[in-house]
């Protein structure tokens, strides 16, 4: 069992270097890190080279879904990732300690996890949970959350997750069995950024792969919440994705067929 970790940098080079997550992950034989630079920066390449991470520079900017799908294909076709390995989507602003890396490896060695989410916090003291696990939203939920700070879809998971409810998880720290990611044709690239994780969780659940909570695997997410900056490009990306998710037909497979999905990488 190997774990292939996908990190996408969009001018996050200083965050990645200062947090030292790639450095920490590089010490484990079971882990391979692939870092795709959406806006190439020389010092990030040097950092990745130093800690044996695979550095991939984009020729042009791509969205979050396309970048992670490309990393998956690189792991599969260039690095020999098999269907029994794991593909882990990891935000560049996530920090994980040695103890929790070992917890992650131990949890995945059992082989019974298809879609797993880590227990994320917003602080190193592990006092404040990140809202990376939520109930599925309606369109009204997005509006009320933004305008009224409504938290009805947020989950208080201090006592674990209720088994009678369905959840989605953000891609800040999402573990997917490699074969499952392939079956679902990866992230839907209609979403440039935001809501691709809701869609992916929805399709995974429909295919029989409900979200599994890795409560003992903890990490810190130093999120910026750029989409809340009114009239910013992140805000518009978020709004576009909300409309796509809310009003387009929910598909059990991504828009791109598996054959197109794989051939695009091979080209």
Q: What is the pLDDT of residue 164?
A: 78
**What does the pLDDT read at residue 244?**
61
**Is beta strand 115-121 parallel, antiparallel or unpaired with respect to 212-221?**
parallel
CA distance 141 to 145: 6
Q: Any idea what the Cα angle at residue 6 is, between residues 63 and 153, rounded to 5°?
A: 70
Q: Which residues contact 137 (CB under 8 A, 6 or more apart)?
A: 145, 153, 198
Q: Is the pLDDT of residue 66 over 50?
A: yes
Percent of the chain with pLDDT over 90: 67
Q: How far apart are alpha carbons 155 and 130 in whole angstroms?
A: 10
| Residue 255 CA, distance from chain mean position | 19
Q: What is the average per-residue pLDDT within 160-165?
A: 80
Residues 25-33 have a mean pLDDT of 97
Q: How many angstroms separate the CA atoms of 71 and 51, rounded?
A: 18
Mean pLDDT for all residues in the chain: 85
Q: Of 45-49, 78-82, 127-131, 133-137, give the lowest mean pLDDT range.
A: 133-137
Residue 64 has pLDDT above 60, yes or no: yes
């Amino acid at each position: 069992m190997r774990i292939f970790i996908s990190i996408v940098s969009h001018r996050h080079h200083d965050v990645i270097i200062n947090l030292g997550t790639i450095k920490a992950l590089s010490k484990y034989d079971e882990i391979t890190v692939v870092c795709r630079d959406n806006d190439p920066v020389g010092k990030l390449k040097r950092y990745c080279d130093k800690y044996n991470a695979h550095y991939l520079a984009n020729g042009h900017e791509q969205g979050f879904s396309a970048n992670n799908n490309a990393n998956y294909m690189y792991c599969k076709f260039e690095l020999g990732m098999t269907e029994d390995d794991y593909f882990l989507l990891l935000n560049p602003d996530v920090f994980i300690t040695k103890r929790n890396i070992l917890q992650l490896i131990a949890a995945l060695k059992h082989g019974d996890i298809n879609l797993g989410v880590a227990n994320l916090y917003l602080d190193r003291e592990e006092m404040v949970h990140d809202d990376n696990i939520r109930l599925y939203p309606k369109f009204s939920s997005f509006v009320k959350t933004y305008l009224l700070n409504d938290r009805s879809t947020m989950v208080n998971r201090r006592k674990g997750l209720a088994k009678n409810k369905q959840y989605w998880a953000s891609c800040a720290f999402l573990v997917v069995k490699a074969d499952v990611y392939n079956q679902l044709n990866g992230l839907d690239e209609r979403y440039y950024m935001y809501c691709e994780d809701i869609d992916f969780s929805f399709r995974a659940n429909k295919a029989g792969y409900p979200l599994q909570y890795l409560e003992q695997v903890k990490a810190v997410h130093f999120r910026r919440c750029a989409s809340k900056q009114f009239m910013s490009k992140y805000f518009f990306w978020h709004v576009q994705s909300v409309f796509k998710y809310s009003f387009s037909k929910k598909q059990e497979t991504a828009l791109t067929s598996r054959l197109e999905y794989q051939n695009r990488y091979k080209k």
